[in-house]
Structure formats: C-alpha cells, structure tokens
Amino acid sequence: MRTLFMSAAMAVLVLAAVGRAKADDLAGEYKVVKVLRGAKADKDAKEIVKVTITEDKITFDDGKMQEVLAYKLDRNTTPKRIDLEVGNKVQKKSFTGIYLFEKGTLTLCVTAPDKARPKAFEEEGSRTIVLQKVEKKVEKKN
C-alpha cells in the first residue's frame, strides 16, 4: 500500500473542497503523464493504470492494488494547496503539497510526511505527478 502511494502518489495527492470553483472541478478519471522527483524523471515510480478523483478522495490504481487518500484543497493561496491523508485512525500519514489544474491537466507536487510544503513545482526533495483528465464521451439520445 505504501509503495503504490510513495512511488507515484508521493508526487501526489488530494481533497474535501474549500470553496468549490467550477474551474477547479477535479472529479473524474485521469491517466498519469509523468512523475518527477525534484526536476528529474522518477525512475522508481510504479506504473499507475488509473487515477480517480471524487469530491473528497483520490484513488491510485496500479491494476493490482488501490491506494485511497482523503484530500482537502485551499484555493485561496498561490500556488493552491492540497493536504492528503492515507491510512486509518490508528495509523495515518499526512502529506502536504501544491496543485495546479489547467485545461484538463492536474499537476500535484507533494513532500514526504513531516516535511515542509513545497513552494514551487519540481522543487528539490518533492515529487510531482502530472495527470491528464480522461474525458468520457456522452452519447446524445434522439
């Protein structure tokens, strides 16, 4: 469970929405475009098949295992902030990060637990994950 999150999601993560803005409607399915450690490609990242975001959870799926994280957003800062939690009441880990959502692309940048929130994307000591939203085609009924 930790491996899946740490390898692709540590760049990542996410939300119980603070002031839900239409432009920031993150809910949906995503595919992973790239994963970085600092500014370099993360060669240790596990293959993530699908990322699903709901109103308050983000799920990373590698085809064998799913990692579910609760998230909260703060859209009133620049860059926008995201706080993530994984685990249960007995054993819980929290991660802080920043995010950017533009034109269907979600970029998340997070640090390890107990580390300071990154101030910029691709910052040394952080992980960044870039996700592309997969648009579902809706068939029109006649």
**Cα separation of 61 and 103, whole Å?**
23
- DSSP 8-state class, residue 88: -
CA gap 68, 84 in Å, rounded = 10
Residues 121 and 108 sit within 8 Å (Cβ to Cβ)? no
Cα–Cα distance measured from residue 94 to residue 114, given in angstroms and rounded to the nearest whole number:
8
> Structure pTM?
0.75
pLDDT at position 142 is 57
Residues of the chain predicted below pLDDT 70: 1-24, 135-142
Domain 2-134 carries which CATH code? 2.40.128
**What is the structure's pLDDT at 136?**
55
Q: Which residue type occupies 41?
A: A
- CA 92, CA 76: separation in Å to the nearest integer? 26
pLDDT at 20: 39
Radius of gyration of the chain (CA): 14
Euclidean distance between CA atoms 70 and 13, whole angstroms: 9
- pLDDT tens, residue by residue, 87-109: 887 888 999 999 999 888 999 99
Helix (H, G, I), strand (E, B) or coil at 101: strand
Query: Which residue's structure tokens are 């920043």?
Result: 98
